[in-house]
Amino acid sequence: MMIKLPAASPALTRWLLIAAALLVAAAIVLPLWGMTLVSTQYPEGLRMVVYANRIIGDINEINALNRFIGMHPITDDFFSELRWLPLLFGASAALCLAAAVVNRFWATLVPLAAMSGIAVYGLVSMRQRLWQFGHELDPTAPMDLPPFTPPMLGGHQIAQFASYSYFTWGTVFPLIAAAFVALAAWLQRPTRSLRAVPARAASAFAA
């Protein structure tokens, strides 16, 4: 089957970029990632939900328990990411809007690059934070626990707790936004120099 590529329409790319701007802006107020912990004592679960600018949930209780194993308390102030993420999301949204106004290939590459950068920054710093919290345990803590890294996604068992980590809308929306921006850039691609490319891509799709 042959997929027909739509002709680059200025209206379509503009709407894609506006939608991307809205989606990434929404991430400023939506939860990004969460972890739920259960044990016999907490059958209803203890929850931690990370937003772009704050961490909410049963943080006091989680910190009270973590103190026994010498884990650093989870506080908003501890994470520089929580200061930067809203600004980065806001800037990305602004860049998307600017790209929508200009509506040219080169202008669309700017938010695309920015958003890819933020995604890499976000994932790397998260991975590092999870490692840090499970490894940099106070050696004078009452209980010694072998160092561990809570997973970014999925289930885990640590001491008496079963945990489940998940990404949620604040992460998914910017990813969709990035896909929209990428699609817009694709549609705006300079056709003359890359004339042969779409045909090759299309045949690859068809295979």
Residues found near other proteins in the complex (CB under 8 A): 3-6, 12, 34, 36, 38-41, 43-45, 47, 140-144, 153, 155, 157, 159-164, 166-169, 171-172, 175-176, 179, 183
- Of 109 and 183, the one with the shorter C-beta distance to other proteins is 183
In this complex, which beta carbon is closest to other proteins, that of residue 64 or of residue 87?
Answer: 64
Q: For tokens 């308390």, name the residue.
A: 73
In the complex, minimum distance from the CB of residue 140 to other proteins, in angstroms, rounded to a whole number: 5
Span between the terminal Cα atoms of the chain, in Å: 8
Q: Which is nearer to other proteins, 87 or 201 (CB)?
A: 201
| Residue found by looking up tokens 């934070």 in the block | 129
The CB-of-47 to other proteins minimum distance in angstroms stands at: 8
CB 52 within 8 Å of CB 86: yes
Rounded to a whole number of angstroms, the minimum distance from the CB of residue 101 to other proteins is 22
Pick between residue 78 and residue 205 the one whose CB is nearest to other proteins.
205
Distance CA 182, CA 110 (A): 11
| Distance separating alpha carbons of residues 108 and 140, to the nearest angstrom | 52
- How many residues are recorded in the chain? 207
User: If DSSP codes are grouped into helix, strand and coil, which group holds residue 177?
Assistant: helix
The residues that bridge with 78 in the sheet, in sequence order, are none
| Cβ at position 118, least distance to other proteins in Å | 17
